[in-house]
Amino acid sequence: MKNSALNANKTSAAEVNPAATALPCVTAEMLQKYDVSGPRYTSYPTADRFVEAFTEEAYQLALAQRRLSGASLPLSIYVHIPFCESLCFFCACNKIVTKHHERSAEYLSYLSREIDLHVAHLGAGQTISQLHLGGGSPTFFSDDELAELMALLKRSFVFAPGGEYSIEVDPRTVDEKRLAHLASLGFNRLSFGVQDFDAEVQKAVHRIQPAEQVFDLVSAARSLGFDSVNVDLIYGLPKQTPASFARTLEQIVELKPDRIALYAYAHLPERFKPQRRIDAYELPAAADKIAMLANALSDFMRAGYVYVGMDHFALPDDDLAVAKRQGRLHRNFQGYSTQPDCDLISLGVSAIGRVGNTYSQNAKTLEEYYDAINLGHLPIVRGLALSRDDLVRRAVIMAIMCQGELQYEAIELAYMIDFKSYFANELELLAEQENTGMVVLEENGLQVTDMGWFFVRAIAMLFDRYLQTDRNRARFSKII
């Protein structure tokens, strides 16, 4: 499985400050204290706060306001392709499991019509600097269908040179020839769903894919000149142990992708039917999960990766790590991003977008999605117009999640508030977290410590007004 070509032209671990690999000690008491559920904060307010009172008309107004304002920032576009050939038991995505590939042609025709509806409101020729195809499995689409989708988008929007154009790839659905086709269409970033290389874990979650297959694909992607290759991993899956996951970590370090997304598995079978096939007794304990996370942090940083935050790692010369160093990191519905805080147009069933100070979500079923478009409507079924308090708190939470620090004056100048008065209750709660080594409070701001990065969601949660009165957090994943 050794493949030295994978490491060509990449920053070596020896070029990284060895002190950066030092990790704090997480105690059993802290594990117990922070073994709670909470949002991932890919947005604030979180999507569970969206309301059906936010209608298509409200979304149209947001689009019109963008057009009238002559907004100069490029757009980001997300396209949700829900189809998968087989079911992964851990999956919490909106997906449709089917082997009938003819269904994708119909779906593509509706995406085309949804694009046209957006252009009617936005105007043609809007510039985009970021495109992401997610799912489901976007590579469920045939090569011709992916080519048609990209042609539709390029007909309606202007792709900025040097933008990030990415696609999620199920390794079981592609080979080197297909990767070459993706490159020819303009994709410059790939994300491979790996999850775990252990055979027993793969069997337990119904996703069998040999490590050799992934190694070959990453090698091919490098040869084809893709700017960045990401792999997704999940810790907390059934049959995983710190020892078994350590073997996967060793293989990932050998693979040396440009980026790594390391997610904690959220077992919510009451919400996601596929997870009911997972035996809860086979899930690792919280202490084992934090051991897996701590081992991953140690292994990846020792291998030269930058810990970008919460669930993302990147090699020092990757754009994500550069953005982290320069304080330009952002967070959107796909996770950490290098792109500015720009409007996000989301296409397809269940897709969530952001325009101006609004969030919106499309219909969650194909039937509702198709019906709306057949009637000439944008398929918006719910969303949210952010209040002034929402905007203030979003700025605070995103600063904590992205920069790991907060300067009170910046918030005061942007929103005309007195920070210490506005957040008096939150600052009292932060004092307790300072006592446990999570944050450092200063006269003019706060800093998340190395220890705090393990539990950064817990710090951000203190500023979440909705959680302050909501005791029903079971719908969220555990923060560890």
Q: What is the pLDDT of residues 130-189, one digit of tens each?
A: 999 998 899 999 999 999 999 999 999 999 998 999 999 999 999 999 999 999 999 999
- Cα separation, 96 vs 82, in Å, equals 6
Q: Indicate whether 340 and 431 sit together in one domain.
A: no
CB atoms within 10 A of CB 200: 13
54 contacts 407 by C-beta, under 8 angstroms: no
Show the DSSP H helices in 303-377 as ranges.
319-325, 366-374
In a domain, 12, yes or no: no
Q: Are 169 and 230 in contact (CB under 8 A)?
A: no
Residue 179, domain member (yes or no): yes
Sequence-distant (6+) residues with CB within 8 A of 256 are: 6, 7, 10, 303, 315
362 in any annotated domain: no
Tokens representing residue 401 in the block:
């999640």
Burial of 317 (0-12, 13-18, 19+ CB in 10 A): middle
> Which residues, 6 or more positions from 432, have their beta carbon under 8 angstroms from its beta carbon?
none
Same domain for 253 and 396: no
For residues 56 and 374, give the distance between their C-alpha atoms in angstroms, rounded to a whole number. 15
Residues 56 and 37 in one domain: no
pLDDT mean across residues, the chain: 88
Write out the two tokens for 155: 């007909």
Position 461: which residue type? M
End-of-domain residue from the set 347, 373, 401:
347
Residues 39 and 99 in one domain: no
Whether 72 is covered by a domain: the verdict is yes
List the CATH number of the domain containing 400: 1.10.10.920
Q: Is residue 366 part of a domain?
A: no
List, for residues 333-364, the tens digit of each pLDDT value. Answer: 877 888 777 899 999 999 999 999 999 999 99
Q: pLDDT tens digits for 3-51?
A: 333 333 333 333 333 333 445 566 656 666 776 778 888 889 999 999 9
DSSP letters spanning 117-178 = HHHHHH-TTEEEEEEEEEES-GGGS-HHHHHHHHHHHHHHEEEEEEEEEEEEE-GGG--HHH
Q: Are residues 193 and 320 in the same domain?
A: yes
Task: Give the model confidence (pLDDT) of 238-260 as tens digits.
Answer: 999 999 999 999 999 999 999 99
Do strands 126-135 and 157-169 pair parallel, antiparallel, or not at all (unpaired)? Answer: parallel
Which residues, listed in sequence order, are joined to residue 230 by a DSSP beta bridge? Answer: 191, 259
Instruction: State the pLDDT confidence band at 377, using cuts at 50, 70 and 90.
Output: very high
User: Are residues 393 and 286 both part of a single domain?
Assistant: no
Give strand ranges (E) for 267-368: 306-309, 312-314, 330-332, 335-337, 344-347, 352-355, 358-362
Does residue 264 or residue 220 have the better pLDDT?
220
In a domain, 369, yes or no: no
- If one counts the domains in the chain, the total is 2
Find the radius of gyration of the CA atoms of the chain.
22
H or E element that contains 67:
helix 56-69
Percentage of the chain beyond pLDDT 90 is 64
Boundary (domain end) residue, out of 325, 347, 369:
347
Q: Across residues 275-292, what is the average pLDDT?
A: 88
- On whether residue 359 sits in a domain, the answer given is no
**Chain centroid to CA 56: how far?**
26
Give the span between the Cα atoms of 374 and 376, in whole angstroms.
5
Distance of CA 388 to CAs 56, 250, 415, Å? 22, 47, 8
Are 81 and 141 in contact by the 8 Å Cβ rule? The answer is: yes
**pLDDT score for 474:** 52
Q: At 328, is the pLDDT very low, low, confident or very high (cuts 50, 70, 90)?
A: confident
Quick check: 351 and 366 in contact, CB under 8 A?
no
Domain identity same for 262 and 305: yes
Residue 290 has pLDDT above 60, yes or no: yes
Query: Rounded CA gap, 478 and 267, in Å?
Result: 9
259-295: b or e for each residue (b if 16 or more CB lie within 10 Å)?
bbbbbbbbbeeeebebbeebeeeebbebebbbbbbbb
**Quick one: DSSP state of residue 32?**
H
- Per-residue pLDDT at 339: 76
Contacts with 113 (C-beta within 8 Å, 6 or more apart), sequence order: 373
Could you tell me if 412 and 451 lie in one domain? yes
What range does the domain containing 137 cover? 47-347
Mean pLDDT confidence for 226-248? 95
Concatenated DSSP letters of 85-102: SS--TT--S--EE-S-TH
pLDDT at 400 over 90: yes
Asked if the structure places residue 380 within a domain, the reply is no
Q: Please tell me whether residues 120 and 131 are part of one structural domain.
A: yes
pLDDT above 60 for 76? yes
Domain end, chosen from 317, 347, 377, is at 347
Asked whether residue 214 falls in the same domain as residue 324, the answer is: yes
Q: Answer yes or no: do 198 and 244 share one domain.
A: yes
What's phi and psi for 407, nearest 5 deg? -105, 120
Q: Are 478 and 288 in contact (CB under 8 A)?
A: no
Q: Given this model, what pLDDT does residue 24 score? A: 58
Q: What is the pLDDT of residue 264?
A: 86
Strands, E, within 278-320: which ranges?
Answer: 306-309, 312-314
Q: What is the dihedral of CA 338, 343, 346, 350, to 10 degrees?
A: 100
Distance in angstroms (rounded) separating the CA atoms of residues 343 and 67: 12
Q: Which 3 state secondary structure label does DSSP give 447?
A: strand
Q: Which CATH number covers residue 100?
A: 3.80.30.20
Q: Are residues 302 and 393 in the same domain?
A: no
